Amino acid sequence: MPLPVITVAQMREWESASWAAGRSEADVIRQVGRAVAERARALTSPSDRILILAGKGNNGADARAAAEHLADRRVEVLNITVPDADLPALDQALARKPALVVDGLFGIGLNRPLDVPWTRLIQRVNGARCRVLAVDVPSGLNADTGETYGAAIEAALTLTVGAPKHGLLLSGAWPFVGRLEVTGDVGLVPCPLRAELNWTLPEDFDGFPPARAAAAHKGSFGHLAILAGSLGYHGAAVLAARGAQRAQPGLITVLPHEAAYHPIAAQLQAVMVRPWEATVKLPGDFSALLIGPGLAAPDIPEEMKATTRRLWRDVLIPIVVDASALDWLPLDPTPRGAVRVITPHPGEAARLLKTTPARIQANRLAALRELSLRFGNTWVVLKGHQTLVGRNEGEVFVNPTGNPHMAQGGSGDVLAGFIAGLLAQPELQKDPLRTLRYAVWRHGHAADVLSGWAAGASRPARAGWVVEDLLTQLGD
């Protein structure tokens, strides 16, 4: 069941329904504390020092409840109620260089500007440059609007309770929220709310992709064509092909611009490679197409662009368009029921909508809806922090995985290939939204494992990992 992105008022409604159903507020606090402690333990090592900052409300109670589950850490709990009087104790605690600070000063109930003493105290925490785990919401941040009440804790990770709140997903809040995660079940009744914007959970993919039949053969899993690669940009085609291989379609053929044929063919073994020619009959026996990675050379033939427009308008098989080929798309209607996918990053989305990346980031949901409508109700994977997946109508999903170390050339090519490799498979074409969400989630999760963010990961973080490592992890 989708986990909705909700408002503070809806969170209060959910809590009230839980108390009315006989759930205990004290038990919920204990379970939140346990969840906070579990994440704090994953972010630290045995014997590390953890500083817990606890305010007067339930947020402080949640933070204090974490302490009893951190017996193998050196935990200091600092109850802060009068900021001026408590500031010296805070300075002393920060001087001891804690490996992690747990922020439980204010929760979603804060509804007024902070006075100077509180602002000074929060600035002191931020100035210490310690890694911060915020409980529910970074103290001082409005969970509905994403704006601060004069100052806010700059968290590395925010563990929000129950479901994400709207304001935590807004671009203005990102410097304070850091990585956003959700506690999961903490004893509240099942969420009774629905929303157009939803948070993806790992359990959404239980049993997906489905198990393969014992007697299946490569013809059972489709044949992907990749139009990618030009002079100076051959690596994008190679990465897209290898990303597609991780999805395990039956066959993959790369059709690069002729000038890039040799370096691409030399790097691929199981993938077939032949130069693109205007005489190539598409879709032929292909079950899906990916068009765009590495087609940025100035001498791309007009025939390739015209072919892209024809395929987009006319054929019934799934088509994924990425990178340079996004600029070739027509605004014409597409065949009813045909799967069409575009995968722009914010800069590309801004170019397609003739606006600025800042405006795209200010309202990513609206940008996704407009892109989808403009290009025939296409599915849109709007990449970036908290990648969105959806189209002009229906639910849109926020992807929680991924981290800033993915911001390197080739990451998007891998994702485009992985998406197309999945959509080439007839069984996975039946539910394109779930397939797209799975591809984005797994791509980001692979990066989280490499960077040490994945919960329960058995491997330490790898410093300086590159996109080729992402491909390896994606296949793990």
pLDDT tens-digit readout, 64-116: 999 999 999 999 999 999 999 999 999 999 999 999 999 999 999 999 999 99
pLDDT value of position 410: 97
Average pLDDT of span 391-413:
97
Structure confidence at residue 463 as a pLDDT band (50, 70, 90)? confident
Tokens, residue 209: 């992709």
Tokens, residue 121: 């105290």
- For the residues of 314-356, what is the DSSP string, one character each? H--S-EEE-GGGGGG---S---TT--EEE---HHHHHHHHTS-
Tokens, residue 456: 């329960």
pTM of this prediction exceeds 0.75: yes
In the CATH scheme, what architecture does the domain 218-474 have?
3-Layer(aba) Sandwich (3.40)
251 close to 225: Cβ distance less than 8 angstroms: no
Judge whether residue 457 has pLDDT over 90.
Answer: no
pLDDT tens-digit readout, 319-338: 999 999 999 999 999 999 99
* CA geometry: angle 242, 248, 249, nearest 5 deg: 105
Percentage of the residues of the chain whose pLDDT score is greater than 70: 99
Judge whether residue 458 has pLDDT over 60.
Answer: no
Mean pLDDT of the chain: 96
Ramachandran area for residue 312 (φ above 0: left; ψ -120 to 50: alpha; else beta): alpha
- Residue 165 phi, psi (nearest 5): -100, 145
pLDDT value of position 211: 94
pLDDT value of position 335: 94
Beta-carbon contacts of residue 129 (< 8 Å; ≥ 6 apart): none
109 close to 57: Cβ distance less than 8 angstroms: yes
Structure confidence at residue 476 as a pLDDT band (50, 70, 90)? confident
**C-alpha span between 205 and 80 (Å, rounded):** 42
pLDDT tens-digit readout, 339-382: 999 999 999 999 999 999 999 999 999 999 999 999 999 999 99
Alpha helix ranges (H) inside 68-206: 83-95, 116-127, 174-177
Ramachandran area for residue 42 (φ above 0: left; ψ -120 to 50: alpha; else beta): alpha
Q: Are strands 319-321 and 251-254 parallel, antiparallel or unpaired?
A: unpaired
Beta-carbon contacts of residue 175 (< 8 Å; ≥ 6 apart): 154
Judge whether residue 420 has pLDDT over 60.
Answer: yes
Beta-carbon contacts of residue 173 (< 8 Å; ≥ 6 apart): 141, 146, 147, 167
pLDDT value of position 216: 95
CATH code of 3-193, in short, is 3.40.50.10260
Beta bridge partners of 199: 3, 398
Query: What are the extents of the domains in the chain?
Result: 3-193, 218-474
